[in-house]
Amino acid sequence: MARVGVFVCWCGSNIAKTVDVEKVTEAASRLPHVVYSTHYKYMCSEPGQNLIKQAIDEHRLDRVVVASCSPRLHEPTFQRCISEAGLNPYMLEMANIREQCSWVHDDKEAATQKAIDLTAMAVAKAVRNEPLFQQEIPVTKKALVIGGGVAGIQAALDIADAGYQVVLVERTPSIGGRMAQYDKTFPTLDCAACILTPKMVDCASHPNIEIITYSEVEQVSGFVGNFDVTIRRRARSVDMKKCTGCGVCYEKCPVKLPSEFECGLGERRAIYVPFPQAVPNVPVIDREQCRWFTQEKCKACEKLCPAGAIAYDQEDELITDKFGAIVVATGFQTWDPSEYGNLGYGTHPDIITSLQFERLINASGPTDGKLVRPSDHTVPKNVVFLSCIGSRDDEHGYPYCSKVCCMYNAKHALLLKEKNHDAQAYVFYMDIRANGKGYEEFVRRAIEKYGAIYLRGRVSRVFPLGDKLIVRGVDTLAGKPVEIEADMVVLASAMEAQPDAKEMARKLGISTDEYNWFSEAHPKLRPVEVLTAGIYLAGACQYPKDIPDAVAQASGAAAKVVALFSKEHLLSEPTVAEVNEDTCVGCLLCKEVCPFTAIEPKTIYDKNGNPIKTVASVNEGLCHGCGTCVAACRSASMQLRGFKDDQLLAEVDALAFAE
Amino acid sequence: MKYAYYPGCSLHSTAKEYGLSARAVCRELGIELEEIPDWNCCGATSAHSLSRELSIALPLRNLAKAEEMGLDVLAPCAACFNRLRSANAAVKDDPALLESVNKTIGCDYKGSVNIVSLLGAINELGEETIKAHVKRELSGLKVACYYGCLLVRPPDVAGFDDPENPESLDRLMTSLGAEAVEWPYKTECCGASLSLSKPEVVVKLTHDILAMAKRAGANCIAAACPLCQGNLDLRQSQVEGRYGERFGLPIFYFTQLMGVAFGLPNAALGLKKHMVNPDPVLAGVGSR
């Protein structure tokens, strides 16, 4: 015979103001199996918890119902409390009479009745609760970091410094990411290369880090602590062990192409390193462009390579490895502003994006840092910067703010003046969003010390007239249309998710938002985790971020990984799905609907080893206990522990047959 | 393809050559036009400056008549097109407004009619169909395609082409064999009806448009709106006098140029009705 204790909480006045807690306590005492009931002002406080422990002891309670707040808040608290008193923590049941009752009602009588009903339901379920036990899961203490930008680099370094093995996978031929393309960084004007390249080298030389570039994650399976990952190492066509990085091959390669790293403003060859400080400093052959691969001619690089490192016959390699945790740091791409027909991007060489401007002022860029117009290589005097190109504009681009553009516009305005004292920067803006440490001061500096002219308004049209670009817009503060004869126009195009973000999310079994940014587990309290345990986010793959935010989040993700690796075992949540193999017919509809790929077919054999039938089998490490499979199961063979049919139906009955 | 034809006031009067050439070209292309019987003024700028109800009631009466005909409406004039579509959109999700307007105009409009512009309807036929009708390629003609402000804007009312950098007329001119020059003033304001109340504004605005077209290398302008054509053509000599700059840019309706390319007789296209004589420019066309 079950012995249930009911503990009704006032939550100060949060509950007691709208619910007559004494009446609830009294009603509960008359419920079947309830041997004790009481109420207290703060049940979650130490005296409140002691009250529960004492009652368990004195009244030999074997189940406890707490009628208080949402289990999201205090279920772990009360589970700990009753297990300290010797009960299995899953013998606890909570009735939420705060969020779902007192807070949303004002009729005290009705709210009290509802609280009584909710409590009766919890008691009915508690009577059918069974003890559940957590299982130990081993942890592979090796992390995978996907994406070798500054976020991935930081995460890899932090995890490696804590003493754990890290594999850093990067899609392009070198780590470094977007930050490697930038000139200086706001608000301190540190040179991006000066602060990034040492980190890249640290990564490469760290004994705990293995960098795999020109490679992509192909497949991910498994679960927290035990991910099985397949990585495709694309054929580099250069032997990494033999190559000395001398660079003769790309000096002599006859095929010239627009460089992706230079945003089309410079050239690369068919065999190339994307930039001189690349890590690893080993070229790759672009097989779609190389004359040997397209026409079976040339082989200049092979003939000239003093190390004999050219390997045309290299093939893609599939690497499989086990990881305990994954940090996703796949970054962003910039939006294509040719969507705005009136701004002329793509129709005139001097209408460029901000990223192109970074390359034009970068000392290692296509012009060696000399700011000149792409059209005629003259020095531009009037440069107009347009904010929010594709950001905060769901007509053309995205409704969100790309967050970093206000700051880099100020930086560009300032650097323009430093490059050429006669130059004049104009910045069209909607609002100036400079909310970071030293950010507002930095924008003021660009305006006050560097004379950047800020115009609040949008630009309606940019068009060439002679060798000038006419920028027509409005200054909404002056209430006047403005027209500027510019030499160059720079568009702060929005940050958007990687084109294959959705595909990556599918591989990882994580979710994305409506713009394909990866979704965090909780926007405020779990910003670096995703809903799939063991996978963490870092940097702009989640949402537009600047370098400080990306690096901070990367260290946060690394801390989560290190915390995970600090345990010998993980404890699995026992409230997961279980299969009744006797009644399961093996239709595997559950496998189809499972959002966590936690269900697999299993063959049952007789004692002679002959297969009898196929049934569903739940991987408890992957199962999140969402219950989708339970709803889909036609033979009621799938049950969720702690939420079985008889427990839930008992709750419904308690409500339906209440007095 | 058959449409209820809404000429509006201009196509029977100041823009007679637009009406003539539109009908002629449509006949060639197999677009059948049946004029809406007893149509009335669309209200133009005047109505919607005075009363919202009036600005909806006037166009809606025309739409109600087209609905009785069981046809969609084709409106060549950009202002008519804009007013008809605006009114139709206004009552679409507002049954109370529709009911009250119906009471005012004594009709029972249900909202089933769609309104297309002439440029839109021709665009629908596709480039190949147009090319198949070309008998005289317009080579040598450098056209600045001028859409004006109302044809493609506001985008949710007009519902076709890019509102900032429209291309459909440029594509049409190219398929006639003409060169559509790149220029930035495709949708710039011509001053519209200020032509009557504040002509000095119109002289300035039309000057800017003419000067830009000339600068872009155009030898003529193709328009799709009677008010635009009127301002650019009628005011041109005044602009030339004021600014001391000679333009000599004939302002065609795009349908006139289509007619020329289709080999239709000049009389059918109203080419004599221009203030700026188009003959010198047209003389060189197609001679290669």
Say if A4-127 and A332-496 have the same CATH topology: no
DSSP-H helix ranges across B13-117: 16-29, 44-50, 52-69, 78-92, 95-105
Nearest chain A alpha carbon to B186? A342
Is A461 an 8 Å CB contact of chain B? yes
pLDDT of residue B270: 93
Q: How far is B184 from chain A (nearest CA, A)?
A: 6
Is B217 an 8 Å CB contact of chain A? no
Is A108 an 8 Å CB contact of chain B? no
Q: How far is B214 from chain A (nearest CA, A)?
A: 12
User: 3-state DSSP call for residue A579?
Assistant: strand
CB A492 within 8 A of CB A352: no
**CA dist., res. B165 & res. B158, Å (int):** 14
pLDDT of residue A321: 97
* Span(s) in chain B for CATH 3.40.50.11810: 135-283
**CA dist., res. A288 & res. A274, Å (int):** 16
Phi, then psi, of A394 in degrees rounded to 5: -80, -5
Confidence of residue B159 (pLDDT cuts 50, 70, 90): confident
pLDDT of residue A89: 96
DSSP letters of A106-152?
--HHHHHHHHHHHHHHHHHHHHT------EEEE---EEEEE--SHHH
Whether residue B288 is predicted with pLDDT greater than 50 in this model: the reply is no
User: What mean pLDDT do residues B55-63 have?
Assistant: 96
For residue B165, the chain A residues in CB contact (below 8 A) are 341-342
Percent of chain A exceeding pLDDT 90 equals 93
pLDDT of residue B262: 96
The CA–CA distances, whole Å, from A511 to A149, A252, A315, A531, A596 equal 22, 46, 33, 8, 11
CB A417 within 8 A of CB A425: yes
**CA dist., res. B15 & res. B26, Å (int):** 17
Whether residue A166 is predicted with pLDDT greater than 60 in this model: the reply is yes
Q: Which of B160, B164, B171 to mutate to test the interface with A (most CBs of A within 10 A)?
A: B164
Considering only the beta carbons, identify the residue of B162, B166, B184 that sits closest to A463.
B184
DSSP-H helix ranges across A522-637: 547-565, 589-593, 628-632
Whether residue B60 is predicted with pLDDT greater than 90 in this model: the reply is yes
What number does CATH give the domain B135-283?
3.40.50.11810
What number does CATH give the domain A142-330+524-565?
3.50.50.60
**CA dist., res. A514 & res. B248, Å (int):** 54
Measure the CA dihedral A481/B154/B166/B14, to 10°.
Answer: -90
In 3D space, the residue among A531, A554, A552, A139 whose CA is nearest the CA of residue A328 turns out to be: A554
CB A535 within 8 A of CB A555: no
pLDDT of residue A492: 98
User: 3-state DSSP call for residue A534?
Assistant: coil
Q: Which residue type sits at A418?
A: E
Q: Cβ of B184 and A340 within 8 Å? A: no
Q: Calculate the CA B22 to chain-centre distance.
A: 10
Pick the CATH number of A577-641 from 3.40.50.450, 3.30.420.140, 3.30.70.1250, 3.30.70.3270: 3.30.70.3270
Nearest chain A alpha carbon to B155? A395
Q: Which of A178-187, A280-289, A521-530 has the lowest mean pLDDT?
A: A521-530
**CA dist., res. A297 & res. A307, Å (int):** 21
pLDDT of residue B193: 84
Q: How far is A387 from chain B (nearest CA, A)?
A: 18
* Span(s) in chain B for CATH 1.20.1050.140: 2-118
| Cβ atoms within 10 Å of A109's Cβ, excluding its own | 11
User: What mean pLDDT do residues A628-641 have?
Assistant: 95
Is B165 an 8 Å CB contact of chain A? yes
Considering only the beta carbons, identify the residue of B164, B183, B215 that sits closest to A340.
B164
Tokens 């294509």 locate to: A336
pLDDT of residue A485: 98
DSSP-H helix ranges across B93-193: 95-105, 118-125, 127-133, 155-158, 168-175
Nearest chain B alpha carbon to A341? B165
Whether residue A173 is predicted with pLDDT greater than 60 in this model: the reply is yes
**CA dist., res. A545 & res. A495, Å (int):** 9
Q: How far is B159 from chain A (nearest CA, A)?
A: 14
**CA dist., res. A505 & res. B128, Å (int):** 44
Listed in sequence order, the residues at least 6 apart from A552 whose beta carbon sits closer than 8 Å to its beta carbon are none
For residue A461, the chain B residues in CB contact (below 8 A) are 164, 184
Whether residue B45 is predicted with pLDDT greater than 90 in this model: the reply is no
User: 3-state DSSP call for residue B28?
Assistant: helix
- Structure token digits, residue A258: 């627009």
Q: What is the pLDDT of residues A212-222, one digit of tens each?
A: 999 999 999 88
Q: How far is B215 from chain A (nearest CA, A)?
A: 9
- Structure token digits, residue A33: 């199996």
CATH class of A4-127: alpha beta
User: What mean pLDDT do residues A13-23 have?
Assistant: 96
Q: Across chain A, what does the average pLDDT equal?
A: 95
Q: What is the pLDDT of residues A54-83, one digit of tens each?
A: 999 999 999 999 999 999 889 999 999 999
With 0.95 as the threshold, say if the pTM is over it: no
Is B103 an 8 Å CB contact of chain A? no
Is B184 an 8 Å CB contact of chain A? yes
Is B215 an 8 Å CB contact of chain A? yes
ipTM score of the complex? 0.78
Exposure b/e, A633-657, CB count within 10 A at least 16 = b:
beeebbbbbbebeebbebbeebeee
**CA dist., res. B78 & res. B152, Å (int):** 9
CATH class of A332-496: alpha beta
User: 3-state DSSP call for residue A92?
Assistant: strand
What number does CATH give the domain B2-118?
1.20.1050.140
Angle subtended at Cα B68 by Cα B65 and Cα B74, rounded to the nearest 5 degrees: 60
Enumerate long-range contacts of A430-436, CB under 8 Å, 24 or more apart.
A430/A387, A430/A388, A430/A392, A430/A456, A430/A458, A431/A406, A432/A406, A433/A401, A433/A403, A433/A406, A434/A406, A434/A407, A434/A410, A436/A187, A436/A407, A436/A546, A436/A548
**CA dist., res. A450 & res. A417, Å (int):** 7
User: What mean pLDDT do residues A241-262 have?
Assistant: 95
**CA dist., res. A119 & res. A67, Å (int):** 6
CB A531 within 8 A of CB A624: yes
**CA dist., res. A328 & res. A504, Å (int):** 9
Q: What is the pLDDT of residues B200-246, one digit of tens each?
A: 999 999 999 999 999 999 999 999 999 999 999 999 999 999 999 99
DSSP state of A402: -
Burial of A479 (0-12, 13-18, 19+ CB in 10 A): exposed
Angle subtended at Cα A486 by Cα A483 and Cα A491, rounded to the nearest 5 degrees: 95
Is A372 an 8 Å CB contact of chain B? no
Is B277 an 8 Å CB contact of chain A? no
- Which A residues in the span 310-369 are in contact with B, Cβ-Cβ below 8 Å? 340-342, 347
- Structure token digits, residue B161: 């082409």
Whether residue A659 is predicted with pLDDT greater than 80 in this model: the reply is no
Confidence of residue A106 (pLDDT cuts 50, 70, 90): very high
pLDDT of residue A1: 83
For residue A342, the chain B residues in CB contact (below 8 A) are 164-165
Q: What is the pLDDT of residues A25-57, one digit of tens each?
A: 999 999 999 999 999 999 999 999 999 999 999
SS3 string, A198-228, reads HHHHHHHHCCCEEEECCEEEEEEEEECCEEE
User: 3-state DSSP call for residue A163?
Assistant: coil
User: What angle, 0 to 180 degrees and rounded to 10, lies between the N-to-C axes of helices B226-234 and B78-92?
Assistant: 150
Tokens 């899961």 locate to: A137
Q: Which residue type sits at B198?
A: K
- Structural domain spans, chain A: 4-127, 142-330+524-565, 332-496, 577-641
